[in-house]
Amino acid sequence: MSMCQFALPLLIPAGEGFHITLMLWAMRDIVKRWRPQSLANVKGCKEDNLVNIPMPVFSFARLGRCNLSKSRILNHILSPVQQHHDFFVHQNMEGANIVREVSDGLVEISWFFPGGSELLDLFPDPVAVTNLRGDLESNWTQFNFLTKVSSAVFIFIETMDDQNYSILSNIEESDTNYFIILAPSSRCISVETQNHIKMLYPILKINRKNVLVKNNSVNDAELVKKLQLIILDSVKSSPYYITLEEMSHIAADLGICIDEGSEEHQNTRTLALEITKSVKDVVQYKNETMVLQGEHWKQLAKIEKEMCRMKGLGSDNAEDYRAKLVKKCAGFRRQQSECSMPDGILTFIAALNNLSRIEKRYFLKWMKLYLDSVTRNHLSALQAEYKEQYYKVNPNVDRLKELDQIIMNSSLGVEHFIREVGQFYEAEHFLANDCTSDQKLHNLPSIAADLLLDGFPLELIDGDGSNIPMQWITDVLVELDTKTGGQCRMKVITVLGVQSTGKSTLLNTMFGLQFPVASGRCTRGAFMTLLKVKNNLLDGLGCEFILVIDTEGLKAPELASVEESYEHDNELATFVVGLSDITIINLAMENTGEIKDILQIVVHAFLRMKELGKKPNCQFVHQNVSDVSAHEKNMRDRQKLLEQLDEMTKVASRMEEKSSMTKFSDVMDYDLEKHSWYIPGFWHGVPPMASVNTGYSENIIELKRQLFETMKKQLESRNPQSISDFIKWIKSLWNAVKYENFIFSFRNSLVADAYNQLSIKYSELEWNFRKRMHTWINEAENEILNQPASELESEIWAGIKEDMHQVLQEEEKVMLEALEEYFESGNKYVHLVERYREDFFRSAATLKNEVEDNLPIKCEEAIRIQKGKHEIQFVQNSYLRTIEEKATSLLDNCKNVKHQLSDEELKSEFEVMWNKTISGLQFGSLKNHNVSQEMIDQLRKDMRHKAGYINEKLNEVKSLDGYGQNGLDLDKKYTQSRWYENMPEVNNEDYWNKVSSLVTSLKEQCNCYVTEQVNTMKDYDQTYCQELLNFVNERLNEEDVRSLHLTPLFELDLKLLLLGQAAPVFQKKHNIFFQENNMKSYLDKIKPQYFSTFKNVYQEKDESKARAQKFYEACLKPALSDYVYKHLGGEIVNDILTSKDSIRYSSRTFFQYTLLKELLEDHDFTRYIKYNNQYETFVKNWIVKFITNKYKDSTSLETLKSNILARILRKVRQALKDPRVRETSNVSQCLKTFCTILKKDLVIVQNEMKVITFQNNASPVQFSADIEEFLEGVEKEMITEIKHFTIEYVMNKKTFKPQDVLFRKIFGCGNQCPFCKAPCEAGAANHKEHFASVHRPQGLGTYRYTESKTLSHSICTTDVVGNTTFLNSDTDWKPCLYKEYRKIYPDWTIQPDATIGSSNYWKYVFKEFNKQFSDYYNAKPAGLPEDWYVITKEQALQNLKESFNMN
């Protein structure tokens, strides 16, 4: 009301109560600034709290009826020329002509404050004017009060009769001047009135000049002018000056209540006064009382930033330097904790702890009032001295600088006390190991949370120290979360802009807030206020609270000379934008040219948030633009601004190395038309008598509506954040912005969790895709293996390929749609991983392409197997036809014999026929391979383009015998000599370790391939050797191997080693295959079956059941067993991924956490060595061990087998009942149809069926029924028989190894950090950048110092922000700055981590096994910092949980 220049209630009538009330407390917050005429020439001004400003009071009252509106006259009296304003409501105003019900007896007060202008100022000094509503007779107490506080009292009357005379004659004697304003209802004044007025002359000490007549001959303007002159004369003639505070004493004497007279008010006032009365000199008081937020706090802030930026590193080791900083930080905290609490702080804390909630509100208000008053007086004196010094002929420059600094430090408010309390809490917490032992501090976060809920602003960023008391803020917000039930959602609105452009005013107007503004200076740092959302807006906004953040002005003049002020602005903007859902950019006027620097800061901030998945809305507010056509006229200017913002975005994206961002709209939600606001100036008129511009308020309300609409729209793409989320953002963002140049890879716990959830989702989709394609390839291979070789031509193969492409496209579509649905689902935090969308969609396409490349290879391999079988089967079939013909002929001859032949006679006849037939067959021989010689021939072709000496050596190789026995004896003959000589000697061991790892990995890869091929049913093929050579060629051509500069001699010896290991294994496999497929042996094997059939047919026995059993045992059972074997691997994987163990394999992050936690618990050095140096092998072995342990002594494997068998038996039974099978003409056709129906499921050996169909005249219906009947109860029998399918057997078979599937699922790309060997955890298979959650001391990755040869204890996350260098084979042994590591390793992102507990896990491991690591790496033990030795196993585990977001 005061800002709008409305009169304020001074005395409230009793109404239904018993007492009149003086409104003093309600006006204590009002501060007025004015320039009296006496200071006009020097441009000075005064500022004070309204209740403390002494000024003359002029009161206006009415006696009896009066047609003249005194309120209207008062409005004219107080209104400057051409600036009329209605201070007091009068009957001629709109909506004011109503029946008076409650305002009788109300005393209103208004003021006039001069602005130093002779033309506009009505009075040279401040003047107060009061207006008594209603008849003074009925409100005598109020009138009596006015007579005692006023310099003059003006009484409006229409007539003066006996009653009125009697009333006025009873006025108590005082020094107050009285004026009677007579407004007769007729032209003439009655004699009675004239006489009574004259009779009052001596009583009221007035004369004729004190009587003003307002009749038809005198208009309002004349009356007003006379009244203004009377007031002016009174002001000039030393009137009675009084303050509102002093009025309260007079009111109390008259029995009038004071609104701040309650016990709560007075007790809390006494407390506040006790604290503030000792504040004489603000700067001195802060130095003595606010000790913790002084130099110690500022030094702590610098140390924390130095831990990130390492500017003072010099030639020191980064970890040693960092350890010194940590020690220094602890020292400052210890010094803080040793400081005793000053009396003022003790009293302040005691008040917060002991006062009730309502008393705390009063106490903090009194504190604010007293502190503001002290600060104003102090600043006024300083500014006066500054002005005096400045205008001297020879000003003292040093004193001016000193005064300037003192003025900057002369702000003192409640926030300083709360800041000091927060510092005591931080220091106590730091030394008490995460808990506060001091009980008086223990409850403070809860109290601060209550204050937030009550609408008090809380300092988020300390504007003086440019730092955040993180533990204090965290615990306050945790308490807030607890008090709100832990389920409250909130939206965050922030305002940014140049200093003194009205940011705080805008927020205060929009939301009715009271952000603290230090007297004489603008907001410093950032303050947050919590707003409760009303119930009717809950559903629309989707949140219970709105958090409003007010920030200090960017480009502040007082910081212009401070070093790194631009950096300070950049930090602030990045931080608050990162927290925001909506950012208001506050600009002065339409011109954006002056704030180009600010826009660049803001663009950088928005760009970083887009990289985090946050795309806040931005509202540009142009203030002090009053033209109604501003929005239309500034269309071109807005377009120009957008062009500038686009250009800034391009520049910023290049600086931030994010070249894909080219437009402002790429990084934020901004609409040129909807999100630009032109708001007129705040004041209507010239202050101090100007009122608030209604156009300003209306535009602010429109802006507020737009903000709410934006919040509603944001619900479509992301959920509001919880308080716990907000805490995580504060921590991670503040840590991130402390890094120099602000180019950081940001991954806070929320982003990490969101990425992990996305990885889990992708992993699930990938497994579903692979599972479906595994099923398809099983069916395709079965179909191929069931086809006669003559039909495996292009047409059949084309059909299979077409079906493959169709299934792949369908499954890819399912996967992509599921990913799209996940990103569009509005899942919590999914917007934070928006920047990874492309990686995962590209990975899905890569997966499809990978499978698409592999499936034809498998199909072609199945075709090759089937064609190879066909050669054997063709010969077998021709032999069997001959035998069957001879057997049929013999059968006919035997039947023609007159007597019945005995079994012995039948056997004799059959033996004669069999031997005679066999002797007449010509047995061919399979090709017998000399695997070793064939491999040598292929190796010569492979190496034919190498240097001459290589071919010479290769020509000397006659056999591979012996080459696979010993391995390679690594020597410098295998390296390019000139390059090797330039390598520092200290790096030799590291170099040969890399070469050794290369050899080991290729040996393992080739051994796995050989094992897989040996486990198949097929013979050796020359493509096996070529595949082994391809493995080596591809690996040697990779960038990391080429950087080793190995010679062709190394390549030859390596290939001889690998082929030498493979040759004897393949030779053994070939020999077994050759023996098993010998035709004579095969015929001897089936001879008993043919004799049995021959005998039964001759004796005319019913063979249906016997042949059905034989079909089951010889054909169906092997096929069923093979089916179980083929599907068991997939079922094992599926079982693991759907059991309680699934969490370990749900993402690479979870898997890494599981591995490292187990290693910590085992405390086994050898396992750490394997993990660090043979990571792939270690992971594979770990998975194998896990699967083996899970299924070795468990019924789970038996259950899986039973389920698979039951599934295929259902299909078999269905096929046997199929009419197509039963309605065939004979058993041969019946079985052929049966096999066709199940061709995608079972591979049934056709040769074995020859014996079953020979002379089989059974009915197909009966034969099918016999088979089906035989299947009853066969399940248990088969489970027993396939018990040899142990878990080890399953894992060693080729078709579908569960360990390989799980390995591929969690191993990822296999890349390791180039410095410490930490494995990449990126969830997408095809990702652009590698990253790891936890990096290690580089000595664990074999790095050592060149001169001392001690293992390096540097950690990548520390080094990448320092000025130290590294050199290795990748840099050609030339030093390269760690901070420029991306020039060498552009695909790695190493996120800096300067927290005190960073990498505690690996620090613990290193200090536990320092000697063992140094011995193993043939180096000296690392000289570890002292603080590493105090890290406990529990701290290491906690660090592991925090690093992988497992808390």
> Within a 10 A sphere around the Cβ of 264, how many other Cβ atoms?
15
Mean pLDDT of the 601-629 span: 70
In this structure, of 510-519, 1090-1099, 1226-1235, the range with the lowest mean pLDDT score is 1090-1099
Amino acid at 253: D
Cβ proximity of 493 and 726 under 8 Å: no
Tokens matching residue 1125: 């074997």
Read off the pLDDT of residues 740-761 as tens digits, 9 standing for 90 and up. 544 434 455 567 677 778 888 8
CA 1286 vs CA 1155, 1283, 1374: distances in Å: 26, 6, 54
Nearest to 731 by CA among 1442, 1212, 244: 1442
DSSP 8-state code for residue 1425: -
Give the rounded distance of the alpha carbon of 555 from its chain centre: 29
Report pLDDT for 611: 60
User: CB-side exposure of 1015: number of CA atoms within 13 Å?
Assistant: 17
43 φ, ψ to 5°?
A: 60, 30
**Mean pLDDT, the chain, whole residue set:** 81
In this structure, of 307-311, 863-867, 896-900, the range with the lowest mean pLDDT score is 896-900
Report pLDDT for 597: 60
Question: What share of the chain in percent tops pLDDT 90?
Answer: 17
SS (H, E, C) 493-529: EEEEEECCCCHHHHHHHHHCCCCCCCCCCCCCCEEEE
Report pLDDT for 1344: 79
720 φ, ψ to 5°?
A: -60, 155
Report pLDDT for 1244: 81
Amino acid at 771: K
pLDDT higher at 983 or 582: 582
Report pLDDT for 887: 60
Report pLDDT for 521: 46
- The model's confidence at residue 128, banded by pLDDT at 50, 70 and 90, is very high
Distance (Å, whole) CA 1008 – CA 1021: 17
Kindly tell me if the per-residue pLDDT of 1395 is higher than 60: no
Distance (Å, whole) CA 214 – CA 222: 9
Kindly tell me if the per-residue pLDDT of 1238 is higher than 80: yes
Report pLDDT for 273: 93
Mean pLDDT of the 470-495 span: 90
Report pLDDT for 1293: 62
Read off the pLDDT of residues 708-743 as tens digits, 9 standing for 90 and up. 998 888 887 778 888 988 888 888 788 777 775 444
Kindly tell me if the per-residue pLDDT of 271 is higher than 90: yes
Distance (Å, whole) CA 183 – CA 217: 11
CA 1317 vs CA 405, 1214, 1332: distances in Å: 51, 56, 10
Read off the pLDDT of residues 773-819 as tens digits, 9 standing for 90 and up. 888 888 887 887 777 666 656 666 677 788 888 888 888 889 888 88
Read off the pLDDT of residues 140-172 as tens digits, 9 standing for 90 and up. 999 999 999 999 999 999 999 899 999 999 888
Report pLDDT for 17: 64
- The model's confidence at residue 634, banded by pLDDT at 50, 70 and 90, is low
Angle, helices 220-236 vs 70-78, to 10°: value is 60
Report pLDDT for 518: 41
Distance (Å, whole) CA 613 – CA 608: 9
CA 1325 vs CA 361, 844, 1135, 1386: distances in Å: 57, 8, 23, 18
Nearest to 567 by CA among 536, 533, 597: 597
In this structure, of 1125-1129, 1350-1354, 1434-1438, the range with the lowest mean pLDDT score is 1125-1129
Cβ proximity of 32 and 150 under 8 Å: no
- DSSP, collapsed to helix, strand or coil, labels residue 325 as helix
Read off the pLDDT of residues 427-447 as tens digits, 9 standing for 90 and up. 888 777 645 556 778 889 999
Mean pLDDT of the 1258-1277 span: 75
Distance (Å, whole) CA 1333 – CA 1153: 10
- The model's confidence at residue 323, banded by pLDDT at 50, 70 and 90, is confident
1182-1188's contacts with Cβ under 8 Å and 24+ in sequence apart are 1182/1155, 1183/1299, 1183/1302, 1183/1303, 1184/1291, 1184/1299, 1186/1141, 1187/1132, 1187/1136, 1187/1287, 1187/1291, 1187/1298, 1187/1299, 1187/1302, 1188/1287, 1188/1288, 1188/1291
Cβ proximity of 876 and 1085 under 8 Å: no
Read off the pLDDT of residues 1413-1434 as tens digits, 9 standing for 90 and up. 998 888 889 988 888 888 899 9
Kindly tell me if the per-residue pLDDT of 508 is higher than 70: yes
Question: What share of the chain in percent tops pLDDT 70?
Answer: 82
pLDDT higher at 332 or 595: 332
Residue with tokens 């939301």: 511
Report pLDDT for 1323: 74
Report pLDDT for 1412: 92
Residue with tokens 């199909």: 859
Cβ proximity of 1092 and 1254 under 8 Å: no
CA 602 vs CA 571, 578, 595, 1296: distances in Å: 10, 11, 11, 54
Mean pLDDT of the 1293-1307 span: 74
Report pLDDT for 561: 45
Cβ proximity of 1234 and 1221 under 8 Å: yes
Q: Do you find a cis peptide bond into 688, omega within 30 degrees of 0?
A: yes
Q: Which stretches of 21-106 are assigned E, i.e. beta strand?
A: 21-22, 31-34, 46-49, 55-63
